[in-house]
Amino acid sequence: MSRIIGVIPHDDYTLTIALSNGDKIILDMRKKVDTIFFQSLKSPEKFRNVHFEDKRIFWDGGTPNLPLGFTLDNILFDMRDE
């Protein structure tokens, strides 16, 4: 499976995620930032401060048991229902 090689946050609460196989994913976070778990990402500065590592994207914050982010598998699983 591919790795994440880049993430670009956009002002409309979407992310462009670049994969090592050349594919790109657009992750729409507009509904998620209205949830309790992700509400801190409504701050544009916080949202733009996204990080990536191998097969996950994440933001500083959250807890060790509930990190503020997603694995690539989670992203792809959620997208299949759209």
Residue-wise pLDDT tens digits, 27-63:
999 999 999 989 989 999 999 999 999 999 999 876 6
Residue with tokens 């500083």: 60
Domain ranges of the chain: 4-79
Rounded Cα distance between 63 and 8, Å, is 24
Q: 3-class DSSP state for residue 66?
A: coil
Rounded Cα distance between 29 and 12, Å, is 8
Q: How many CA atoms lie within 13 A of 2 on its CB side?
A: 15
Considering the domain 4-79, what is its CATH architecture? Answer: 2-Layer Sandwich (3.30)
What pTM value is reported for the model?
0.87
- pLDDT at position 62 is 63
- pLDDT at position 80 is 79
